Structure formats: structure tokens, C-alpha cells
Amino acid sequence: MATMIALWNPDEWPDGVAEHHFGLLAERGFGLSIVGPWSTGSRKYDIGYGDTVYMLMVGDRGRGVIRSGIALEGISQDGDWRGGDREANYIKRVEWRHFVPVEDALPTETLKDQIPEVNWDRMQASGVVIDEPAAQTLDDLWLAHIGQA
């Protein structure tokens, strides 16, 4: 099974929308999941049903993991979420299972310290696949962070 990092930059969303959307999800806590698409950047393959997806918040509001879930299908192309005539790569159905509020993100400082083989500060787009044992360490850190360890 693969583990992919999806990026989310709240600065690219209209004011208040990101906080409202992600805040509601985090408030409702465990037991709630949401299914939706997410971009895989330039990645067109190597992600399929059952693979783990983590969402790394980036941008001026801080950096850290705020979501985890599983891919319910592989990667396909569709219209770019930013609009226009371009196509983009997506996992059309990610089941996001665990959420934390943005202010409670698993910080990249912890990730850099515990998983130094992944270049957490240099990720420029979604679709980065991390290898074992880094993926297992991320799983362990995340589960401890959300109180599921």
C-alpha cells in the first residue's frame, strides 16, 4: 500500500471558507467521514484503492498534517479545480476519516525531527508518495496526535 501527501493551502480559498469547512469537520470529530476529490499534482499513477492519504496544510497560516483518509479509487484526469481549459490529476474519491482543527495540526517541526528522510519544507504540490518506514512512522505519529494510538 502507498502513502501519499496531499497539500492544502488555505490562502488559496476565499476568506473564511476554509476555516468554516475544516472547522466544522474537526468539530464533529471521529465517526464522521467525508468523501471528495483531491488533486494529486503531477502524479498520474501509483495510488489506488485503499492507499493512505494525508493532508499537509501549507502556506502563511502554518504547516502541518490536518487530515487523513484512504483513496477509494485510483487517479484520473478532470478539469482543473482552478478553472480554465486545463486538465488536472485527481483521486476523485478520498474518504477523509480523521480531522483536526488547523490550529491543532501535527506540526512539520515534529515531522522533520521524526521523519527527516522526507523533505517536508520543499513539497510544492500534492502527490508526493513516501516510502516505508517513513510512512509507518507518519501513521504512528498521526495516531498518537489524534489520540488513537
Q: State the 10-residue block means of pLDDT for the chain, 149 residues long.
A: 92 61 54 81 92 94 92 86 78 90 92 97 93 97 89
The pLDDT score that the predictor gives to residue 26 is 54
- Measured between alpha carbons, how far is 62 from 108 in angstroms, rounded to an integer? 9
Q: What pLDDT, on a 0 to 100 scale, did the predictor assign at position 37?
A: 86
**Which pLDDT value is given to residue 41?**
87
Q: What is the pLDDT of residue 102?
A: 83
What's the pLDDT at 28?
54
3-145 folds as: ph1033 like fold (3.10.590)
Task: Name the E strands within 14-134.
Answer: 34-39, 52-57, 64-71, 75-79, 87-99, 106-107, 128-130
How confident is the model at residue 19, as a pLDDT?
55
CA nearest to 37, candidates 69, 10, 3: 69
Q: Which three cell numbers stand for residue 91?
A: 483521486
Predicted TM-score (pTM) of this structure: 0.87
